[in-house]
Structure 1
Amino acid sequence: MEHLLCWEATETMEHLFLFCPVARALWDLSGLEFLGQGLPRHTFPLFLRRVMGLIHRPELFMALAAILWRIWRSRNWVVFEGKQFGIEALMRQFHQQYEEWVNLPIDRVGTPHRQTICPGAPSADLSVVCCWDGATRRGASSAGGMVLMNGTREVLLARGIQFPGLVDPMVIELLTLREAINWCLGLGIH
């Protein structure tokens, strides 16, 4: 299938998110480092690993997620609704999405626990698993959560969060990740 944003190539994940002229223009205008630099054209999983390596920097991680989300949404508008747009409109939508995600008040998603778990335990022996549920059911309260486990996968601590009124899965996922990071920092895990 031809890529419908630029009509230049077969649509692949790499082309859609990294190498399409529309995507590259968005990356260039965003001022963010282009994480696809030096990657072969069929390595989207490597790109995602680079993005996930930035999860400890929530604002940068959200900016990258907002770019990817805007590209995906724009592609779907063209494919399913026949809408056309310019790069300036796409850039405005990216900025609006990013500001919305970054500026969500912390009290909408709960207060991180302030307790120490396993004092002195190396962070490498601990892992945190995040999940969300219910974000696609209109009118339903969405929930997110995280579980802290030790090296033997024993659950040490769990935390749930409610997201009343939010239904956008990407927003719920990002908020859950942000809260998991804050939760780990509050627990002294780095």
Structure 2
Amino acid sequence: MSVGDIEHLAHLFFDCRFAQECWKIVGLEYDTRDVEYVSEWLINKLSNDTAENLGRISAVLWRVWFSRNKRIFENKNMSPAITMNWSMTQIKEWRYANNKRKAIGLNQRGVMQHQERKWVKPELGYRKLNVDAAIK
């Protein structure tokens, strides 16, 4: 990647009006005009910021890139508000699904994590059948 490529990425993700509006919508505004190396600055942000802000930063970077590609390759323009609304909805859905996976004991690969479980007597009028199986 050349210096020119990095300058273009800095413009795309931080300096253009569309990107600046996206940052504003998620409650983060960055002025990178005086930053010498935007890539190093961004890596530092990603390494040291809060989990909440990491989600916002990722949302903006992802959706700015997605919107740019929609505009260039499909001639579709989206407003920053619609772009970020869609992105934040996706992140909320991902967090909900991730929390649900943790609640039922699934790890990142969808495998049930070992948890100590106790037998619970069924409610009155019900019978319980415990089954153990392995499938390969």
TM-score of the aligned structures, taking structure 1 as reference length: 0.46
CA–CA distance in 2 between the matches of 1:37 and 1:31? Answer: 19
Corresponding residue of 1:169: none
Task: Give the letter aligned to residue 27 of structure 1.
Answer: W
Which residue of the other structure, out of 37, 41, 54, is the alignment partner of 1:47? 41
Question: For 1:60-79, what aligned pairs fall within 5 Å after superposition?
Answer: 60-79=53-72
Aligned match for 1:93, one of 82, 86, 89: 86
Q: Which has the larger radius of gyration?
A: 2
Change (3 A) 1:63 1:51: same
CA RMSD between the two structures: 2.9
On the 8 A contact 1:25/1:87 being kept in 2, the answer is yes
Structure 1 gaps, min length 5: 1-10, 113-159, 165-190
Shift of residue 105, structure 1, vs aligned partner: 3.0
Aligned CA distance change for structure 1 residues 107 and 86 (closer, same or farther; 3 Å): closer
Matched, 1:13 2:9: yes
| Structure 1 residue 67, shift from structure 2 partner | 0.8
1:161 match: 108
User: How many residue pairs end up in the alignment?
Assistant: 104
Conservation of the 8 A alpha-carbon contact between 1:35 and 1:51: no
The alpha-carbon deviation at position 30 of structure 1 amounts to 1.6
Give 1 or 2: higher strand fraction: 1
Q: Which has the higher contact order (CA 8 A, sep 6+)?
A: 2
CA deviation after TM superposition for structure 1 residue 163, in Å:
5.1
Unaligned runs of 5+ in 2: 1-6, 112-136
TM-score, with normalisation over the residues of structure 2?
0.61
Give per-residue Cα distances to partners, 1:53-92, cap 9 Å, x unaligned: 236x322211110111010110111122111122221231
* Structure that is richer in helix per residue: 2
How many percent identity over aligned positions?
27
